[in-house]
Amino acid sequence: MKKLLSLGLVLIVLTTVAIAGCGGGEGQARAGAEPVNLTIAAAASLQDAAGELKTIYEQQQAGVKITYNFASSGTLQKQIEEGAPADLFISAGKSQMDALAEKGLIVDASRRDLLGNELVLITGKDGSLSGFEGLTDAGVAKIAVGTPETVPAGKYAQEALTHLGLWDKIESKLVLAKDVRQVLTYVETSNADAGLVYRSDTMGSDRIKIVAAAPADSHKPIVYPMAVIKGSKYQKEAEDFAGFLQGAEAARVFEKYGFKPLETNS
């Protein structure tokens, strides 16, 4: 009888150790799991809002890290076409996303129109410019715009100025910038007398003022589409982050920085 009891105790101890060992192994695997590092290729105009959203999301999603690559949408498009790492692309223009879609580089079903914006004419804080018509005045020597071929804000600016009958008149004054944030910097530092940027770009600057908004019908609608990159190894996680960007919490952040959320998940 004693031998049976002893044998039973030994079996219980061995079984307990085996179970504990298995459970500990699973826990160690989870604790040692490699974190998900998402690379987000985002239009330069998103920089301020995106920084705040990164902080919120990383606090909510343990193990997920967000890395941004900010540049003009045209530059980002070319980088993705050439194989640069990216999990999600947020463009400031539809044409750049269309180009990637045509080459089969995005997950078509993931594409969403995320944000809208407004094109505005700015000058230095003490500038005397009072409207678009003043751009032809001799006192306005340099006007900064994004390079139309690669910067959506520059393309919108070209369309608006052409619509207003001003492009040909002021073309010799234009200073072309690599992205919309460089346009803002040129005006802030008095390297340009005026510039055209998104309203969202002006929110954090006390060195410029808005002179006027471009008429809504003077350029194509400003839309920021986003889509998951087909070559991403983290497609699900990129989809999750995209869903967060369409949520009510993200919408409040975008609105704070001057954007217009287009689709909001409840």
The predicted-structure confidence for 208-218, as pLDDT tens digits, reads as follows 999 999 999 99
Same domain, 180 and 127: yes
Full-model pTM: 0.86
176 lies in the same domain as 255: no
* CA separation for the pair 135, 24 (Å, rounded): 71
- Shared domain for 87 and 152, answered yes or no, is no
pLDDT digits (tens, 9 = 90+) for 86-142: 999 999 999 999 999 999 999 999 999 999 999 999 999 999 999 999 999 999 999
Q: Is the pLDDT of residue 258 over 90?
A: yes
Is residue 24 a part of any domain in this protein?
no
- The CATH number covering residue 158 comes to 3.40.190.10
Is residue 266 in a domain? no
* 168 shares a domain with 138: yes
Say whether both 153 and 210 belong to one domain.
Answer: yes
- Residue 134 and residue 188 in one domain: yes
Looking at the structure of the chain, the number of domains it has is: 2
133 and 211 part of one domain = yes
Distances (CA, A) of 107 to 96, 137, 166, 232: 15, 48, 40, 10
**Within-domain flag for 63:** yes
Query: Cα separation of 6 and 65, whole Å?
Result: 53
Chain Cα centroid distance, residue 203: 16
**Same-domain pairing of 210 and 227:** no
21 inside domain: no
127 lies in the same domain as 104:
no
Split at pLDDT 50, 70, 90, the class of 263 is confident
Provide the residue range defining the domain that includes 90.
36-116+223-261
